[in-house]
Amino acid sequence: MRGYTLLDTARTPDGVELSLCERGPELVIRAHGIDLMSNRMHGSEAQMAALARCPREGARVLVGGLGMGYTARAALDLLPAGGSVTVCELVPAVVDWNRVRLGHLAGHPLRDPRLSLVVGDVAALLRDTPGAWDSILLDVDNGPRAFTEEANAKLYASGGLGVTLRALRGGGAVAYWSAFEDREFARRLARAGFRAEEHKVRARGVNRGPWHWVYVGRG
Ligand SMILES: C[S@@+](CC[C@H](N)C(=O)[O-])C[C@H]1O[C@@H](n2cnc3c(N)ncnc32)[C@H](O)[C@@H]1O
């Protein structure tokens, strides 16, 4: 943690410690000693909202993982008329951090009347909402492998992919953020019944920063 000032800590239901840290102008949410989200790079978090956007009036968007709110902000900015965004966040303290310290980073998405918040596990919400969503934006780990929580592994296994496919309305799409290339995950998406796409996107703007990957599954 050299160079970081610890601002607060919280635990996930599995007992993993999340920490909110400051390093100069940078704010970072860390897990397992690794940066989970930082305000230094958030281009790909916004791009995933564009890649899975549904232009339908009244579109319903689900964002899994609030983090620092960049994906939620992009989903709101791209929302068609009459649409709504539901953000599902596992850790209540992350919501508090957004209300108190982080909200300004992405223009206070939690204050937007088109957004509603669910505190809980996005895997459970997906299971309980068949046919509900036009776009599902999942950024709860470092990629399509459990990282924040062991329990998240089910989201990326074939059973979880089937649940996610069923949670989409016809013509909808799901996007998964990843810090690494994972061709096997793209094949798994296809085997689960999605039209799978791999997008390599820059972390900062159009052509700056390291590469990230967004896996899109169209229902
Ligand atoms: C990498 S951050 C998300 C970053 C976000 N895309 C942004 O733009 O700032 C991951 C977030 O997912 C949350 N999370 C992890 N597992 C989750 C789950 N099963 N359900 C809902 N949220 C989860 C973490 O607490 C964390 O806030």
CATH code of the domain in which 116 resides: 3.40.50.150
Instruction: Please give the average per-residue pLDDT across 77-87, as a whole number.
Output: 98
**How far is ligand 1, taken at its centre, from the CA of residue 141, in Å?**
7
In this prediction, residue 9 carries a pLDDT of: 97
Percent of the chain with pLDDT over 90: 92
Instruction: Please give the average per-residue pLDDT across 69-91, as a whole number.
Output: 98
Quickly count: other Cβ atoms within 10 Å of residue 54's Cβ. 21
Q: Are 117 and 110 spatial neighbours (Cβ–Cβ below 8 Å)?
A: yes
| Best of 89, 102, 127 for a ligand 1 pocket test (most atoms within 8 Å of beta carbon) | 89
Range of the domain at 205: 41-218
Instruction: Please give the average per-residue pLDDT across 190-215, as a whole number.
Output: 93
Residue 193 placed within a domain? yes
Residue 144 placed within a domain? yes
Residue 130 pLDDT more than 90?
yes
Q: What is the pTM of this model?
A: 0.97
Instruction: Give the nearest ligand 1 atom to 70 CA.
Output: 8
Residue 78 placed within a domain? yes
Residue 202 placed within a domain? yes
Instruction: Please give the average per-residue pLDDT across 69-76, as a whole number.
Output: 98
Number of domain units in the chain = 1
Residue 24 placed within a domain? no
The C-alpha atoms of residue 95 and residue 57 are separated, in whole angstroms, by: 28
| Best of 39, 62, 91, 117 for a ligand 1 pocket test (most atoms within 8 Å of beta carbon) | 91
Instruction: Please give the average per-residue pLDDT across 176-205, as a whole number.
Output: 96
Residue 1 pLDDT more than 70?
no
Q: Which residue puts its alpha carbon closest to atom 4 of ligand 1?
A: 67
